[in-house]
Amino acid sequence: MRIVKYILVSIFETLLRFFPMPCKTGLREFGNPGPDSPVFLTCNYHLTVERVKRALKGMDCYLLVANSRGINVWCGAAGGHLNNHRVVSVLKTSGIEERVNHRSVILPQLAGPGVEPRAVRKKAGWSIIWGPVYAKDIPAFMEKKGEKNQEMRGVKFPPLQRIEMAVMWAFPLSVTAGLLTSLFWPRMNLSLNVFIWVFSFFVFLAFPLYSKWLLWRKFEFLRVSAFLWGTFLVGLLVYSVLLHSFDGKFWLWWGVVSLLVICLLSVDLAGSTPVYKSGLHEDRFFKVVLDKNKCRAAGCCEQVCPRNCFEVDRSHHTARMPRASQCVQCGACIVQCPFDALWFENQKGEKISPETIRKFKLNLMGQRALGMD
Amino acid sequence: MSSVILMKVLESSPKRYDRGMKILFFGNLDQIYDRLISDIQKGQKVLDIGCGTGALILKAAQRGAQVKGIDINAQMLEVAKEKAEQWGLEQMTEFQEKGVSELDKEEEASYDAVTSGLCFSELSEDEIRYALRHIKRILKKDGLLLIADEVRPQNILRKIIHWLIKIPLWIVTYIGTQTSTRAVRNLPDKIKQTGFLIERMRFNSIRDFMELKARNRKDKAE
Ligand SMILES: C[S@@+](CC[C@H](N)C(=O)[O-])C[C@H]1O[C@@H](n2cnc3c(N)ncnc32)[C@H](O)[C@@H]1O
Ligand code: SF4
Ligand code: SF4
């Protein structure tokens, strides 16, 4: 029964993936926790909490749900909703301090862009341990006594998640399209909806096949939309040839409507994946720069980078960025570096300092509120 | 006036915040805040929780009180500081980036009044309980707790009107900022349970907005 409910909830919330889905904040218990049991923390996005709950089943532990305004961990942290204050607040007001003897809390690694262990320690006296990126790795993480391998540290974009993204786009689009067609072109209702769903699945399932050639290059938007539109038009041509019908009106309608849908889909295709940086962010032309003179090989960057860009060379007391090209500009490494050895810099030499990145988060339009004027 | 939700849109851009609030509350907020702090006197020490851009706390400073504003939003605080400077109130004001969970750092019995405008509705149940406990601790004997905030109407008809106004605003805010808030439930009861004496309560016509004045009775058994 529980599993059925979980599946239904997952489907429902995947359909509404675009929207935040807040759930109750505060302390939850699993199994029979005692004063030495581990303490986990996550955001209050309902689906995330459900997933963490599943991962913690069978353990004796505590879970703190912090207020991220119903937004998932990564977006919440990068957008300033899951921040130091929210973590400090749940640590201090939930009553966990009376329950356990220790003062360490395990956070999802993707909270890295928003939560600073130093600030949390200073304000609340708790130390933060960076757990795995995905909740399902928690049992393995605990078994290895907090050791994380590269695998657990990286974000992935596996088929299941791609399907989620396809649904996340298709559902609101098809609802809108359904409403519009019912009003103006009732006959096209069904076919347009079929098109939206099939095409969204195509875009995301075929993602690995074309992404290398299209994303994060010049004129990304044009490339992506031209590719997708081209693909669709070829499909339409095949269809027309098979049916021997070349109706001008039919072509016009589908040409325009598909172009609209495709433009919407490709505005920020990169940004809806965890493995490419968003094309909308103000910081997109900036790169992470590492100052080897300041770096003392503390290794925080390596621990939080969800793209495994870093390697710490302990014998030379410095970090290196052998996989810098994989960076998605989440900013986690910059926020975490205790020696301010990292920052964003663009080709013109303009910098975004660690201080700015810690203080001002990205808003929905991908802008950092730099200064106040 | 049930527009706490729309405030989210504004909060995400502190620069627009003040102008937006004027529109949202049809310019009434000024009046409400003036009334709320009318008991504050020159030379008193006042703490404002969730001060935002300073709408409430700067009024108290203008009356000659020595004020401190705390908020977790650094950008809002920047605007507040700027305003304090423009109005020549720097000497009277202090701003700190702090949340309610850091109220335990404030000294016992050190404030004459604690004020809060539209902030309790953003707190969790745990935070409200924690905040009230510490507000009681840091207030002097007979010190004042002054709150203006969204509440949930009790009466069914008012509830319906409240939601009729609220739902469209919800949608706008969801699209705009992907966040939402909920009005506080049973705030007066919680305040009473903490050991305050409520001296005045004033509601708007739909009863979804409340002004409250409570006094800290240290000697009284709870
Ligand atoms: C709607 S604004 C009200 C601001 C101001 N009092 C006014 O009336 O214009 C609410 C403020 O509460 C702050 N806030 C939210 N949660 C808080 C917390 N846990 N501790 C302190 N401030 C908080 C927000 O940052 C925001 O600035
Ligand atoms: S976190 Fe900073 S100091 Fe530590 S290894 Fe990375 S760059 Fe070097
Ligand atoms: S190197 Fe890039 S992807 Fe890795 S943590 Fe830093 S900003 Fe994020």
Q: In terms of domains, do A249 and A180 share one?
A: yes
CA A40 to chain CA centroid, Å, is: 19
| CB-nearest partner of B78 from A22, A95, A372 | A372
Could you read off the pLDDT of A215-226 as tens digits, one per residue?
A: 655 666 777 788
The amino acid at B151 = V
Of A219, A239, A272, the residue at which a domain comes to its end is A272
Mean pLDDT of B18-29: 69
pLDDT on residue A144: 86
Q: In terms of domains, do A215 and A121 share one?
A: no
Q: Is the pLDDT of residue B185 over 80?
A: no
Residue B46, ligand 1, Cβ within 6 A = no
Q: Is the pLDDT of residue B117 over 70?
A: yes
Give the total number of structural domains in chain A.
Answer: 3
Q: Which residue in chain A has the smallest CA separation from B127?
A: A93
| Angstrom distance (rounded) from CA A326 to CA B170 | 38
Q: In terms of domains, do A227 and A300 share one?
A: no
Beta pairing partners, B166: none
| Angstrom distance (rounded) from CA B181 to CA B73 | 16
Of A218, A240, A272, the residue at which a domain comes to its end is A272
Report the predicted TM-score, pTM, of the whole model to 2 decimal places.
0.85
Q: In terms of domains, do A287 and A268 share one?
A: no
Residue B187, ligand 1, Cβ within 6 A = no
Q: In terms of domains, do A178 and A147 share one?
A: no
Quickly tell me which residue has 């103006």 as its tokens.
Answer: A184
Q: Is residue A34 part of a domain?
A: yes
Strand ranges, E, within chain B:
45-49, 66-71, 93-97, 111-117, 139-150, 196-203, 209-216
Rounded to the nearest integer, the mean pLDDT of chain A is 85
Residues in chain B with CB shorter than 8 Å from the CB of A26 are: 124-126
Mean pLDDT of B78-87: 93
| Cβ within 8 Å, pair A360-B75 | yes
Q: Find the range with the poorest average confidence among A257-261, B116-120, B187-191, B210-214.
A: A257-261
Q: In terms of domains, do A225 and A107 share one?
A: no
| Angstrom distance (rounded) from CA A322 to CA A339 | 20
Q: Is the pLDDT of residue A251 over 90?
A: no
Q: In terms of domains, do A123 and A197 share one?
A: no
The amino acid at A97 = E
Nearest 5°: the CA angle A349, A351, A353 is 160
Q: In terms of domains, do A229 and A266 share one?
A: yes
Q: In terms of domains, do A76 and A101 share one?
A: yes
| Cβ within 8 Å, pair A372-B14 | yes
Q: Does B170 touch chain A (CB under 8 A)?
A: no
Could you read off the pLDDT of A325-354 as tens digits, one per residue?
A: 888 888 999 999 999 999 988 888 888 889
Could you read off the pLDDT of A276-322 as tens digits, one per residue?
A: 766 666 666 788 999 989 998 888 999 999 999 999 888 878 899 99
| Angstrom distance (rounded) from CA A369 to CA A131 | 30
Q: What is the DSSP letter of A279?
A: S
Q: Is the dihedral of CA A215, A220, A225, A231 positive or negative?
A: negative
Q: Tokens for B138, please give them.
A: 């840091």
Q: Is residue A277 part of a domain?
A: no
Q: Which residue segment(s) compose the domain that A49 sits in?
A: 2-153
Q: In terms of domains, do A26 and A124 share one?
A: yes
| Angstrom distance (rounded) from CA A351 to CA A344 | 6
- Give residue B181's pLDDT band: very low, low, confident or very high (50, 70, 90): low
Q: Is residue A86 part of a domain?
A: yes
B86 or A368: whose pLDDT is higher? Answer: B86
| Alpha-helix residue ranges (DSSP H) falling in chain A | 2-15, 46-56, 73-78, 84-93, 96-99, 117-124, 138-143, 150-153, 159-184, 189-205, 207-214, 220-243, 248-266, 300-304, 332-336, 354-359
pLDDT on residue B75: 81
Closest CA relative to residue B120, chosen from B166, B194, B187, B209: B187
Nearest 5°: the CA angle A100, A30, A120 is 45
Q: What is the DSSP string of B53-113?
A: TSTTHHHHHHTT-EEEEEES-HHHHHHHHHHHHHTT-GGGEEEEE--GGGGGGSPTT-EEE
| Angstrom distance (rounded) from CA B184 to CA A257 | 45
Does the structure's ipTM exceed the value 0.95? Answer: no
Q: Is the pLDDT of residue A245 over 70?
A: yes
Q: Which residue in chain A has the smallest CA separation from B132?
A: A93
Residue A339, ligand 2, Cβ within 6 A = yes
User: Under DSSP, is residue A60 helix (H, G, I), strand (E, B) or coil?
Assistant: coil
| Angstrom distance (rounded) from CA A208 to CA A72 | 24
Per-residue 3-state assignment (H helix, E strand, C coil) for A78-124? HCCCCCHHHHHHHHHHCCHHHHCCCCEEEECHHHCCCCCHHHHHHHH
Rounded to the nearest integer, the mean pLDDT of chain B is 84
Separation in Å, CA of A19 to nearest CA in chain B = 6
In chain A, pLDDT over 70 holds for what percent of residues?
91
Q: In terms of domains, do A110 and A147 share one?
A: yes
- Give residue A145's pLDDT band: very low, low, confident or very high (50, 70, 90): confident
Q: Is residue A63 part of a domain?
A: yes
Q: In terms of domains, do A188 and A80 share one?
A: no
A350, with CB counted inside 10 A (0-12, 13-18, 19+), is exposed
Q: In Å, what is the CA distance from A178 to each residue of A186, A254, B28?
A: 9, 15, 42
Domain with residue A80: its CATH number is 3.40.50.11600
| Angstrom distance (rounded) from CA A329 to CA A336 | 14
Most confident of the following: A156-160, A244-248, A335-339, B13-17 = A335-339
Rounded to the nearest 5 percent, the helix, strand and coil shares of chain B are 45, 25, 30
Q: Is residue A249 part of a domain?
A: yes
A309 Cβ neighbours under 8 A, 6+ residues apart: A288, A301, A321, A322, A323, A324, A326, A327, A333
B3-216: CATH topology is Rossmann fold (3.40.50)
| Cβ within 8 Å, pair A25-B126 | yes
A218 Cβ neighbours under 8 A, 6+ residues apart: none
Atom index in ligand 1 nearest the CA of residue B116 equals: 6
Cβ(A372)–Cβ(B82) under 8 Å? yes
Q: Does B94 touch chain A (CB under 8 A)?
A: no
Quickly tell me which residue has 């335990």 as its tokens.
Answer: B104
Q: Is residue A16 part of a domain?
A: yes
